[in-house]
A and B are shown apart, each in its own frame.
Chain A
Amino acid sequence: MSETLLEVNGLAKHYPVRKGLIVAKQVGTVRAVDGVSFSLKRGETLALVGESGCGKSTTARLVLRLIEPSAGTIRFEGVDVTRISGAAQRAMRRRMQIVFQDPYASLNPRLTVAETIAEPMLVHGIGDAASRRKRVEELLSLVGLRSFHAQRYPHEFSGGQRQRIGIARALAVQPDLVVCDEPVSALDVSIQAQVVNLLKDLQRRFGLAYLFIAHDLAVVKHVADRVAVMYLGQIVEVAGKRDLFAAPRHPYTRALLAAIPHPDPQRRGQVKPLGGDLPSPLNPPSGCRFHTRCPFAQERCRKEAPALRQLAPGHEAACHFAETLPAVGLDFTGGLSEAATKRLALYAKARAA
């Protein structure tokens, strides 16, 4: 299971900014994704996290070639998908599917659930009508829906159920890689948990690899094996999730972790806001892109862009001073009170019964 499924190297997407109505002159470039490299093993979950505008969704779409990269390679089982076309590309697409953020916008309102789920099979010419119908039923039960749901339309379902339909559609053609683009962030807390549990369960059963795009770090900690943190189009830190949460090395990762409010009033006031706003990707800061907001920035950070470098096995960060930063002082311990833990255990027991 340690075989590399996806390898992305120096991936970039630059959007030209033009001005002028008749003679359009290029006045700048938005570097939405600017030299991103990562790899993903079969059956593994890599989370891409970062704030809006950091390029995480663009990266996901580049991997699927829903948009064309400006530079870089994307190797899927060793084959560079940026160079294939026609039948080869179509065959490749069957193996990479996507689950979208918005379960309201990502389902065609005019198609029944059965038609929606069968569509990818139709596109790829898999099976005949009868076998597809059978497969739809299988998929429905797989994602926790009932067979009578097949003839209904999306508007008859709640957000959580719609997301299950979207997941069934992605799994219809038995992909190896599923890109999950913020799959739970539009859902209510209790529904979020159901969908997260479902995704983890499906991964175990089918050995799926997930590229999981998210901004909620608590969800990421729950689903991911490894985490890549993005800032202004670049990866600033990659590590196994335990290392990342226990010992974040990049100041931006630390700031993100420190900004999460904990569901525990006793730790109130631990949240430390990061100053400033995200700079424009049209005109990113010189040197290290985080230096304008970094509490540890020094002269060198303004001039020289730090490369992503290995600090420990499997742990990389792009910071000149990663080794010499003061201790983190993040404290996630404490946790649930005794009474709450006891009652949650009773809840779990009663639910299982």
Chain B
Amino acid sequence: MRDTSEPLLRIEGLRTVFRTHGGEITAVDGVDLSVPRGRTLGIVGESGCGKSVLSLSVMRLVAHPGRIAAGRVLLDGRDLLQVSSAEMRDVRGSQVAMIFQEPMTSLNPVHTVGFQITEAMRAHDTRASAAELRERAIEALNRVRIPAPDRRFDEYPHQLSGGMRQRVMIAMALSCKPKLLIADEPTTALDVTVQAQILDLLRDLQAETGMSIILITHDLGVVAEMADEVAVMYAGRVVERAEAGAIFGDPMHPYTLGLLGSVPRLDEERETLLAIEGSVPPPFALPKGCRFHPRCPFAAPECRSEQPPLREIVPGHSAACLRAPVEAFVA
């Protein structure tokens, strides 16, 4: 038996780069993260912050011209970046599984739902009979609370609603009982009432199976609802990391503050939202020093030259900012 206090997944110094005509760009730049057993890590950030490339790197699915340039991805102590392709194929599905934002484009329109669910089972268990696979798939559909699963088994993706498709994706991802589920914007394409159903389902399934979840999202509400720990990413780096309560209750990084100020809240009325000025820098033109400094209202001269390391500001709460907590610097 493994030590259960040891996190399930540890990412150390991960760097993923893409070769382009304009030279090499770094999409993920020295990320350290860990995911505890049975818990949920929320990764928050806007488009282009590297959160999706990070998750693809964990799955080792970064496609050419991208490659993982440095770092370690330790699952139960085993470095996934060192195992062979064949071993990695075995890890995908049975140990780490992934669901994506767009359930329509991630399902194959010309195969039935049942065929697609049993595909992964067939790959990992070559001896199972067709009847056995069907039974297991129907059980999987049942577990994600799809009504009339035996009928749905023979249907095609276009016959299902968006929420049902995402349930099918989750059923497929969980069909081989992974220890870690990576959910990349799983509810972004869904309506708010359907989103609530899917989040509820993910929470229940986590309680049943004890799996860990990496939840990637841009929606602070979803993070607050689901995550135990949160990492905020900006321009390829983690800029703040803490327990969910501390991220919302005691936000340290100016970018996190800006995000909180940008979301309209239901509990108050403000004339104008506290938007972040400017936009995310493109990865081929990252500013020197702190990558957030051109948009940061607190930027000091040293922020322009020095890349701030992620440092612990209060126990269990780190931020990559030279001026955090801000009240210590600004009157």
Contact, CB under 8 Å: A190 / B224: no
**Chain A residues within an 8 Å CB radius of B273:** 193, 196-197, 222
Contact, CB under 8 Å: A263 / B196: no
1/0 per residue, CB under 8 A from B, across A323-353: the answer is 0000000001111110110111011101101
CB distance from B276 to the nearest CB of A (A): 4
**Chain B residues within an 8 Å CB radius of A346:** 298, 326-327, 330
Contact, CB under 8 Å: A347 / B261: yes
Query: In the complex, A274→B196 CA distance in Å?
Result: 8
* A340-B260 contact in complex given A188-B47, A189-B220, C-beta closer than 8 Å: yes
Does A52 lie at the interface of the complex (its beta carbon under 8 Å from any beta carbon of B)? yes
Number of interface residues of B (CB under 8 A): 60
* CB closest residue in chain A, given B219: A261
1/0 per residue, CB under 8 A from A, across B279-319: the answer is 11000000000000000011000000000000000000000
1/0 per residue, CB under 8 A from B, across A176-199: the answer is 000000000000111111101100
Query: In the complex, A51→B189 CA distance in Å?
Result: 11
**Chain B residues within an 8 Å CB radius of A269:** 225
**Chain B residues within an 8 Å CB radius of A192:** 262
Query: In the complex, A260→B187 CA distance in Å?
Result: 12
Contact, CB under 8 Å: A347 / B265: no
List residues 236-264 of chain A with CB under 8 A from any CB of chain B: 245, 255-264
**Chain A residues within an 8 Å CB radius of B265:** 218, 262-263, 332, 335-336
**Chain A residues within an 8 Å CB radius of B195:** 259, 261
* A197-B275 contact in complex given A52-B191, A261-B221, A261-B224, C-beta closer than 8 Å: yes
The stretch that binds A, out of B2-10, B119-127, B134-142, B245-253, is B245-253
Does B267 lie at the interface of the complex (its beta carbon under 8 Å from any beta carbon of A)? yes
Query: In the complex, A266→B221 CA distance in Å?
Result: 11
Contact, CB under 8 Å: B279 / A191: yes
The winner among A189, A255, A264 for most chain B CB atoms within 10 A is: A189
One of B224, B248, B263 near A340 (C-beta < 8 A): B248
**Chain A residues within an 8 Å CB radius of B218:** 188-189
**Chain A residues within an 8 Å CB radius of B162:** 52
CB distance from A241 to the nearest CB of B (A): 9
Query: In the complex, A339→B220 CA distance in Å?
Result: 18
* A193-B222 contact in complex given A255-B193, A347-B261, C-beta closer than 8 Å: no
One of B244, B258, B327 near A265 (C-beta < 8 A): B244
A sample of 7 more A-B contacts (CB under 8 A), given A261-B195, A346-B326, A350-B298, is: A271-B225, A340-B251, A343-B251, A346-B298, A347-B261, A347-B297, A347-B298
**Chain A residues within an 8 Å CB radius of B199:** 261, 271, 273
Query: In the complex, A312→B72 CA distance in Å?
Result: 63
Does A41 lie at the interface of the complex (its beta carbon under 8 Å from any beta carbon of B)? no
- The binding surface of chain A is classed by DSSP as helix
Does B108 lie at the interface of the complex (its beta carbon under 8 Å from any beta carbon of A)? no
Contact, CB under 8 Å: B193 / A259: yes
CB distance from A253 to the nearest CB of B (A): 11
**Chain B residues within an 8 Å CB radius of A189:** 46, 218-220, 259, 262-263
* Sampled A-B contacts (11; CB under 8 Å): A201-B272, A219-B264, A221-B264, A221-B269, A261-B195, A263-B224, A264-B224, A265-B245, A266-B245, A277-B161, A344-B274
List residues 121-167 of chain B with CB under 8 A from any CB of chain A: 161-164
Does A158 lie at the interface of the complex (its beta carbon under 8 Å from any beta carbon of B)? yes
* CB closest residue in chain A, given B218: A189
Query: In the complex, A340→B264 CA distance in Å?
Result: 15
One of B192, B224, B277 near A351 (C-beta < 8 A): B277
Does B79 lie at the interface of the complex (its beta carbon under 8 Å from any beta carbon of A)? no
**Chain A residues within an 8 Å CB radius of B259:** 189-190
One of A52, A197, A344 near B260 (C-beta < 8 A): A344
Contact, CB under 8 Å: B164 / A343: no
How many chain A residues sit at the interface, stated as a range, is 35 or more
Contact, CB under 8 Å: A348 / B196: no
List residues 198-237 of chain A with CB under 8 A from any CB of chain B: 200-201, 215-219, 221-222
* CB closest residue in chain A, given B271: A200
Does A124 lie at the interface of the complex (its beta carbon under 8 Å from any beta carbon of B)? no
**Chain B residues within an 8 Å CB radius of A273:** 193, 196-197, 199-200
**Chain B residues within an 8 Å CB radius of A260:** 192, 221, 266
Contact, CB under 8 Å: B275 / A217: no
Binding site for B on A (CB under 8 A): 51-52, 158, 160-161, 188-194, 196-197, 200-201, 215-219, 221-222, 245, 255-269, 271-275, 277-278, 332-337, 339-340, 342-344, 346-348, 350-351, 353
Contact, CB under 8 Å: B327 / A217: no
Contact, CB under 8 Å: B266 / A332: yes
**Chain A residues within an 8 Å CB radius of B47:** 188
**Chain B residues within an 8 Å CB radius of A353:** 297
**Chain A residues within an 8 Å CB radius of B269:** 221-222
Query: In the complex, A333→B265 CA distance in Å?
Result: 10
Contact, CB under 8 Å: B266 / A218: yes
CB distance from A11 to the nearest CB of B (A): 23
* CB closest residue in chain A, given B330: A346
* A193-B274 contact in complex given A261-B224, A263-B260, A342-B327, C-beta closer than 8 Å: yes
* CB closest residue in chain A, given B274: A348
* A351-B274 contact in complex given A256-B193, A268-B224, A278-B161, C-beta closer than 8 Å: yes
**Chain B residues within an 8 Å CB radius of A161:** 279
* A217-B266 contact in complex given A188-B218, A189-B218, C-beta closer than 8 Å: yes
* CB closest residue in chain A, given B161: A277
Does B325 lie at the interface of the complex (its beta carbon under 8 Å from any beta carbon of A)? yes
* A339-B277 contact in complex given A263-B220, A271-B200, C-beta closer than 8 Å: no
Contact, CB under 8 Å: B276 / A343: no
CB distance from B240 to the nearest CB of A (A): 12
* CB closest residue in chain A, given B163: A277
CB distance from B164 to the nearest CB of A (A): 7
Contact, CB under 8 Å: B261 / A193: yes
CB distance from B137 to the nearest CB of A (A): 21
**Chain A residues within an 8 Å CB radius of B227:** 265
